[in-house]
Amino acid sequence: MPSLASPRHPPGKDGGTETNDTARKNDVRRSGSGSAPLPKRKCAILETISAGIAVLAAVAASIQVAVMRRIAYGERINEMFELMHNEHNRTVREVVWKLEGRPYGEWSAEEMRAVHRVAADYAQLGFILRHSYLRPAPFLDIWGRRAIQLYRIVGPFLEARRLEWDSPERWIYFEWLARFAWMDVNRRRPWWQRRSWLKLQQKTFQLASQADDSDEDDPAPSA
């Protein structure tokens, strides 16, 4: 007598019957993946967009780094001008200028402190220029000749201190700055001694005189 219930699915590999979930999984495997693959054209477009985004991100990062370096460079310039132009350092330089021609054995304790301050300032400038934290030429135009003259005044004293303290590296960047500035003076002229600056002075002198004449004709501003 035939069986009233027949199996809904063919027997599995282990001789049993497949469950509904197993059958569905087998159907998916037979028909391929569960979702249809993207067309090749769409894949290419997505890859192009991703590559473009990566390029834009790299460009933005490069611009940001360049801007940050520019800001840091400007801050270093400002710090150097603050160092060389603050009132205290100008005062001690005036003290050192007056030591020219006097043996350092006759210097007072206050004058020696002024020498140490000036030597430290110019050593700091020399360190920054020696290691290319700032472009040397603009600063040598302003302070190069002063470094030479000041080192001529205080150099013998500094060298004697080095020997006394057995510290050859002390103020070495001041000495480097003076020697490098000496080479620079014999190699090139500052921009204000060049022909282009003389021409500009001549042109602007004429313009300035005309501006002065026109100002005389203008009425005084009202309060």
Among 150, 155, 163, 66, smallest CA distance to 104 is for: 155
In this prediction, residue 141 has a pLDDT band, given cuts at 50, 70 and 90, of very high
pLDDT at residue 211, rounded to an integer: 54
Q: Which of 190, 103, 181, 187 is nearest to 148 (CA)?
A: 181
Phi, psi of 120 (to 5 degrees): -65, -40
Q: Which helix (H) or strand (E) holds 76?
A: helix 40-85
Task: List the domain boundaries for the chain.
Answer: 41-73, 86-190
Average pLDDT score over residue span 60-81: 82
Please write the tens of the pLDDT for every residue from 193-219.
888 988 888 888 877 666 555 555 555
Q: Residue for token digits 């006759």?
A: 106
Given a contact cutoff of 8 angstroms between Cβ atoms, the answer to whether 147 and 178 are in contact is: yes
- The answer to whether 84 and 125 have CB atoms below 8 angstroms apart is yes
- Over residues 174-196, the mean pLDDT reads 92
With 0.75 as the threshold, say if the pTM is over it.
no
Segment 28-33 shows an average pLDDT of 52
